[in-house]
Amino acid sequence: MCRLKVLLISLARRGGMVQYQGHLAGALGTHAEVAVVTAAIHAAQIRRKGLRCYPVYTGGKPIGTALNLLQLEWHRILRRAVNEIQPDLAHIISPHEWNPFVLHWLNRAGIPTVYTVHDPEIRKGTPFHFRLLETLARRLPAAWICLSALARRQLLAQGYPAARVFASRLGVFDFGLSGREPAATAEKLFLFFGRIEPYKGLEVLLRAAPAVFHQVPDWRLVVAGEGDLSAYRAHLDHPNVTVANRYLADEELSGWLQSAGILVLPYTEASQSAVITSAFAYGKPVIAADAGSIAEVLEPGVNGLLFPVQNVDALVQAMVSLAGDSAARTAMAHANRQAAQTRYSWDQIAAETASIYAQVPRCT
């Protein structure tokens, strides 16, 4: 029986989408013949996995992205990839401004397409041009993959056909561990990391912090990630709070995750979260708001603790309680490492993704 031939496409330049691309592409290689169209800066990462790679220079800023689209070099590279691979399907796995144009080209070439929808309800504050292009892209595939059961329900509520919308999930983002065991020691450190966005509820965490440190003064909080912190300045002036307001390369982020005692996610909404699966990779307990799909991943008392969305008092109680219970943290750390190696392993997710591919209509 011939192996399925899959063309993965991800034009993201940095951030979690790059981790997603690398892990999924590498794991899928055991279930299908995989080639990857990727942003040029990530070509070496793909080639190290032994996969055929077609790098595309997309540009570093919005104007460059637009100009490179008009130059049509991507068109030539995509045609070469299709001619050489003869894929059974193409799977676009990350949002990008070029996606509707790439999908249109693939449809005209007769290649069945799958599209991963990361956030079915496009977030407030998303630039108008990106919102428009993402909306257009979602109309074009033969099938869609969501990263939680909630996200699938949200797409179905928008009128997408149930037979062609599939639920999957994110695997562990290990930021360079590559299967190695993380450091066994952990500091008395609460960690909030990721790009600073309003929906991530950082204000709730910072409002909780003084009461937390009054009760557990030997713990501290690290807020790590790029983004605008101007709205939070009044809450950041505390001796137990450290801020690393910059883009975090994998090595630095891995260092913070190794050091952390507890990860905190005070989100107000979430269709999925790579932060939780990162915690699983490093064996870290998680305290998270019961927002969106988080409860699909986080079992209270097993992987961490949940608290009601935007409830500062409940967050204080959860942080103080878990900080003071080393036995619970140890048990949760073990459970999370087990989850990383089973349900959230990329091998398992790749096998399930391959089974989804088998259900994709072979005409568009």
Domains of the chain are 5-171+345-357 (3.40.50.2000), 189-341 (3.40.50.2000)
pLDDT at site 177: 67
pLDDT at 335 over 70: yes
Work out the percent of the chain whose per-residue pLDDT is above 90.
Answer: 73
Structure pTM? Answer: 0.90
230-259 confidence digits (pLDDT tens):
999 889 989 999 999 999 888 899 999 999
pLDDT at site 270: 87
| Measured CA distances, 206 to 212, 241, 287 (Å) | 10, 9, 14
Q: Where residue 263 falls among pLDDT bands split at 50, 70, 90?
A: very high
A 10 A CB-CB count for 94 gives: 21
Closest CA to 81 of 59, 111, 104: 111
Q: Where residue 182 falls among pLDDT bands split at 50, 70, 90?
A: low
Q: Which residues lie below 8 Å from residue 354, measured CB to CB, with a gap of 6+?
A: 4, 28, 31, 32
pLDDT at site 111: 96
5-22 confidence digits (pLDDT tens):
999 999 987 777 888 888
pLDDT at 34 over 70: yes
What single string gives the DSSP state of each residue in 238-302?
Answer: -TTEEEE-S---HHHHHHHHHH-SEEEE--S--S--HHHHHHHHTT--EEEE--TTHHHH--BTT
| Measured CA distances, 319 to 37, 117, 219 (Å) | 43, 32, 10
Q: Mean pLDDT throughout 133-139? A: 95
Q: Where residue 364 falls among pLDDT bands split at 50, 70, 90?
A: very low
Q: Mean pLDDT throughout 252-277? A: 92
Closest CA to 191 of 274, 275, 103, 317: 275
Among 118-127, 135-144, 226-235, 322-331, the least confident range: 118-127
DSSP 89: E
pLDDT at site 16: 76
Q: Mean pLDDT throughout 44-67? A: 82
- Distance between CA atoms of residues 309 and 313, nearest Å: 11
pLDDT at 61 over 80: no
Q: What is the mean pLDDT of the chain?
A: 91
Q: Mean pLDDT throughout 343-357? A: 95
- Distance between CA atoms of residues 347 and 343, nearest Å: 9
pLDDT at 181 over 70: no
pLDDT at 180 over 80: no
pLDDT at 168 over 50: yes
Closest CA to 293 of 135, 164, 129, 153: 153
